[in-house]
Amino acid sequence: MKVLAFILSTVLGTALVAGGVLLIVTQSSRHSAGLDLLAIFALTILIYGPLVLGSLTSYWDVRGSQGSRSFFLRYLWVVVGLEVLAAVAIVLFAVLAGAPVWLPILFIVGGAVLTPLALAVGGLLQRHERAHPRADDEWMPVGRREIQRKVLIVAGIFVAAYAVGVVAFGALLSPDIGGALVIALQFAALAAGVACIAFTVPLNRRLRSTVGGDLGTVRKVGRVVLSKKDLALDPAERVAAAKYAAIVPTVLGFTLGWTTLLYLSIAVQQVRSIVDGRNAPFSVGLAVLLVAMLVFLVPYYAVRIGRAQRYARKHAAELTAEPGEDPVSPRWSPR
């Protein structure tokens, strides 16, 4: 159920952003790269802000400890504050771009509805998972062979989806073979990205089990492992940190994988629009934005993966700690 919800939320978020961008492009009388990007940034915050909150509440226990409650409350206020700024930005865009009055109202009301809805669905999913614990929630290391198998499956899905796409879109768009090849590439990247997401969800469950699902503890452990913060850890937290460091590089790798594939799917469409001369300034701006985000994300993730791997090697002995030192909470352990 969680895998399906994660995939649906990702696809829904992408679809909503695409639909919003379409409205921005078609319903505005004046266009410039700056105005369009301002509206897209605002739209992204209004959609993905609530989705991130829903994901947080569905995966982590945000009320189990004082640390969890404090962090989640701060995070909630940050998201709400960003949504307020996004609302101001979308109103400013509508005024400057000559968009109809209903456009900013639609975006703002949509964001206002998505926020409580995402929180409600996230809490519902967490309660469902607590009532139906899974055996694979228990922590276990990720072996090299398992990683290779997952990567080969993703690569196989990409190749198979591309082949199917070439045949299907080639028949539909004949004689525009070039267009068929481009759309098939988009389809293949999206299919492989969804496969990466499907692999990421169970890995995240293993990651969560290292800290018993407590949001405050995973934040503390993450700061030690990924940000090299010198924080005092008790014996149970040291075990949790070692387990976290052993699995988080794989989680981050697959997360970067599906992010890159989804960005590739969107970027290919923008390149096609540029070549065809359809709304070229907007497409150029969006393509540049996607490339810039990847230029930031790839080294960012690479540095954090490297830190986690070094921490895992340095603290490998902690993985053999006595069961009594394991911080996994009973409510997250399999029955």
| pLDDT (tens digit per residue) in 231-261 | 888 888 888 899 999 999 999 999 999 889 9
Specify the pLDDT at position 6. Answer: 64
Residue 168: count of CB within 10 angstroms of its CB? 14
pTM passes above 0.85: no
Higher pLDDT, 228 or 32: 228
Are the beta carbons of 88 and 78 closer than 8 angstroms? no
**Contacts of 281 by beta carbon, 8 Å cutoff, 6+ apart:** 31, 32, 33, 36
Q: Regarding predicted confidence, which is higher, 8 or 205?
A: 205
For residue 174, pLDDT beyond 70: no
- Name which residue leads in pLDDT, 88 or 231: 88
> What is residue 281's predicted lDDT score, i.e. its pLDDT?
67
Average pLDDT, the chain: 81
One-letter amino acid for residue 288 of the chain: V
